[in-house]
Structure 1
Amino acid sequence: MSLHTDAIHVLKGYEGSHDGQAELRQLYLDHLTAHPDGMWKSCASGHVTASALIIDPERGRVLLTLHKKLGMWLQMGGHCEPGDPTLSRAALREAREESGIEGLTLLGSGAPVRLDRHPIPAPCHWHLDVQYAALAPAGAVAAISDESLDLRWFAYAEVPEVADDSVVRLLERTRAALV
C-alpha cells in the first residue's frame, strides 16, 4: 500500500467530530483525491504532514520543540518522506528525529488524535497536519535536533502560556484519549 493510499484509509477511518474535524477530514480527502502528489512537499497547493505530541502522562507533561523557522513552541512533526510506509510511522519518525527519544509508542490504537490545517509561506500554501500522540517511555531523555532552537518538557498547565491554540487543542484531545 502506498503512503497516499494509507493516508486516505486513515482519514476515512478518522472519527473526530469535535471543532470542525469532520469538515477538515473531508477537505483532506478531497485534496488527496485531486492531488496524487498531495503527500509531498512539492505539492504547491498544500500537502499532508504528520506530527506527534510527545506526552509523559506519569508526570503530567509534554515535550515541545521551539521550531527553528517559526520561533514557536510546537509538537514534533513535519513532512512525509518516500520511505515512510504509513502516516503513523511518519509521525513517529518525526517525533523520534526531533526529540532524540527512542521507544516512543502511539497512544491507544495508533489513530490520529486530531487534524489541523494551517497556512505556511509560499511556494506552498497549506499544511494538512494529521496529529498523533506518542507516549514517552519511562526515563526518556530528550536531545535537541538541528530543526529546533530548544526542546523542553512543559506541565500540562503551562502549555497554554507558551503554545498556540492548535497545540492546546491537541493536548486537550490527547488528555481526553488517555481516560
Structure 2
Amino acid sequence: MARQTLEDLFIHDLSDIYSAEKQLTRALGKLARAATNEQLSQAFETHLQETHGQVERIDKVVEMCGIRLKRMKCAAMEGLIEEGQELIEELEKGPILDAGLIGAAQKVEHYEIAAYGTLCALGKQLGREDAVKLLHQTLEEEKATDQKLSQFAEKVGNPQAKKG
C-alpha cells in the first residue's frame, strides 16, 4: 500500500512501531538475563512489563481509529536488537557488557521516542485526539525509561565499567 495520505502515513508508522514493540518484548528478556548488575536486570524486566502495556495501548488506538495495521517488520528495531545481541555474544558478562547493554537500550528508547513523537504529531493533524492521548502516554514512558537508563549509567553502570 502506497503512503499517499497523512492517514496512510499514520497507519504505516503505527504498524511499524507495533512491530518494533513486539520485537522488543522478545529481546528484553535476553537483555535482563545478560545483565550482571541486578538493578539493571530488574530494569529490563520492568520495561518488559511496560512494553506489554504499550502493545495493548496500540491495540486500543487501532480499535478507536477503526484502522487495520499492516503486517510488516520494523527493520530499524531489528537492527537495534541485533546490535544488542552482538554485544552479548562478544563481551564477557560483567560491567563492560552492562555498560554496552545500557547504551543499546538507550538507542532503542531514542528510536521509540522519535516514533511516538511522530505518531502524536500525525494524530493531532488527523484530529485523533483520543489516540494522541494514548500515544503521548507511551511517549512519556519512553522518555522516562531513557532518563532512568542515563541516570543508572552515570551513577552505577559506567563507574563500575571503568573500574572493571
Q: TM-score, normalised by structure 1?
A: 0.32
Q: Which has the higher helix share?
A: 2
Select the structure of larger CA radius of gyration: 2
Q: TM-score, normalised by structure 2?
A: 0.34
Q: Which has the higher strand share?
A: 1
